[in-house]
Amino acid sequence: AAERRALVNRAMVISIARYRPKPVDCPTLLIHTPARREALCHPVRGYPPLLPRGEFVEVGVPHSDLFTGGLASVCRACDAFLQPSAARVPASA
């Protein structure tokens, strides 16, 4: 059992190392905290190459406060991002 576990674990390590995600070519909003800016917004290893039409918004609170103390900022970012889309939706009768 231990040998099988080791083989499965090794296969997972190889699979993860070889995985190359494909870019998502649609408008995308990525909300992040100051602590994650460098990693998430890195021009090579971060999300910009994967989200060519992405909008990156930093909310000035710790991650644990995104949906409490930072909720108003998150909502403003979502609203600003969605406004152009909402303008294209026809009004209901």
Span 28-40, pLDDT tens digits:
999 999 999 999 9
Q: Is pTM beyond 0.85 here?
A: no
What residues contact residue 73 under an 8 Å CB cut-off, 6+ apart? 59, 60, 61
Average of per-residue pLDDT across 80-90: 80
Residue 21 has, within 13 A of its CA and on its CB side, a CA count of 10
Residue 24 has pLDDT above 70, yes or no: yes
CB 21 within 8 A of CB 47: no
Task: Summarize pLDDT for 64-81 with one digit per residue, the tens.
Answer: 999 999 999 999 999 999
